[in-house]
Amino acid sequence: MTDSDLDSDSDPAELAERVRTGTLRLHELEDHVDPDTAAEARRHLLEAETGADLETVGDYGFPAEEADPNIENMIGAAQVPMGVVGPVPIDGGAASGDYYLPLATTEGALLASVNRGLSAIRSAGGSNARVTKSGMTRAPVFRVDGVVEAAETVEWIEDADNLETLREAAESTTSHGELLGIEPYVVGDSVYLRFAYDTKDAMGMNMATIATGEACEIVERETPASLVALSGNLCSDKKPAAINAVEGRGRSVTADVVVPGELVEERLHTTADAIAEANTRKNLIGSAKAGSLGFNAHAANVVGAAFLATGQDEAQVVEGANTITTMDAREREDGTTDLYASVSLASLEVGTVGGGTKLPTQSEALDVVGLRGGGDPPGSNADALAEVIAVGALAGELSLLAALASRHLSSAHQDLGR
């Protein structure tokens, strides 16, 4: 069988049979036919091999070639229901105005709950939000002979001229990324260098990896250190990690609101004191007893749904769960008690360019937020998206804590049939 024979035969069932018999590999289909036909051939193969019916998987609404940078061995699309919450007024460092937030999830009652929280925030005049720190990290690990060579390596890294040399090497690989700094860590004969980058409107993981690889060649050439792995897990990517909760990764973002006491009672059917107590005993004390890195009710719910809707790396919801929720009862001069509520997300890794943000569905969702593509100045769109997601997480925390404080959580799910 020749390549020309394959090119002339685009029948998906025949192609599937050739994959099954071993004359063609599963990942080679796009070398001979267009991506949609290749995906159909794989569905034929799987239906024959497993007995599954993939009609719905194959009913997707964009050309398969547009997903080429995002998936291998494509068979179709996983269609997660998408809804929208909002609008809500946000006064942010980058976000300014009223925003809708698309959320994709299979968890019934989530959007209803978030929308209830946003309604309270909207009636309170909106939320403030700020990105307080930004930097995507990559931390390679090097081998040295011992602590003497480790100290020599660290001393070389911390020299201002050498740092500038590493900055020039790293930034030569990207037209947008900027090296913010390098933090060294020594563990015996291992040296970890935690590079941090301003990646503008990109989430920037690939950008940081490529740039760090270029810099590592200089470290190896100029110091006793030998590179073992380009990622030494001190980054730390897609894993619960205290370093991200403390130092941040991606964007550290905070949102807050003061909800008047009468609104707490009218919209959330409880009191500021009750919500504050529930937060202290559940999110703070309970989380501390559990050894949790996240001190919140369910911030990852909103982060995950926003990530799926807007094309973020869904595995980085792990870092998005590094959130601390605070709720305080504040007494006014007239004796009324208002509720101060905040969320601080230490490591929210988002972008509005690159990766899954370019997929058609996700691009449309970013258009709903009004934040697709690069911002002016660069980085402002991703900052704004982080602030909008943070306000969504704040709304989710308000609503859930109110439901717990008023003992309405189970009845709310029952009423919605979830």
Q: Tell me if residue 414 falls in helix, strand or coil.
A: helix
CA–CA–CA angle 77, 21, 75 (5° rounding): 5
Catalytic residue among 30, 34, 107, 178: 107
Distances in whole angstroms, Cα of residue 137 to Cα of each of 101, 108, 299, 363, 418: 27, 35, 22, 26, 40
Neighbours of 415 (CB within 10 A): 11
Q: Is 107 an annotated catalytic residue? A: yes
Whole-number Å distance between alpha carbons of 190 and 226: 10
Distance between CA atoms of residues 270 and 265, nearest Å: 5
Query: Which residue in 36, 178, 198, 413 is the catalytic one?
Result: 413
| Nearest one of 411, 394, 388 to 269, comparing CA atoms | 411
Residue type, 199: T
Largest CA distance in the chain: 87
DSSP structural state of residue 31: G
Using alpha carbons, select from 274, 288, 235, 305 the residue that is nearest to residue 82: 305
User: Annotated catalytic, 31?
Assistant: no
Find where tokens 């107590």 sit: 277
| Annotation says 364 is catalytic | no
Distances (CA, A) of 32 to 10, 27, 212, 243: 8, 11, 36, 47
Q: Which of 313, 319, 383, 387 is catalytic?
A: 313
Residues marked as catalytic: 107, 313, 413
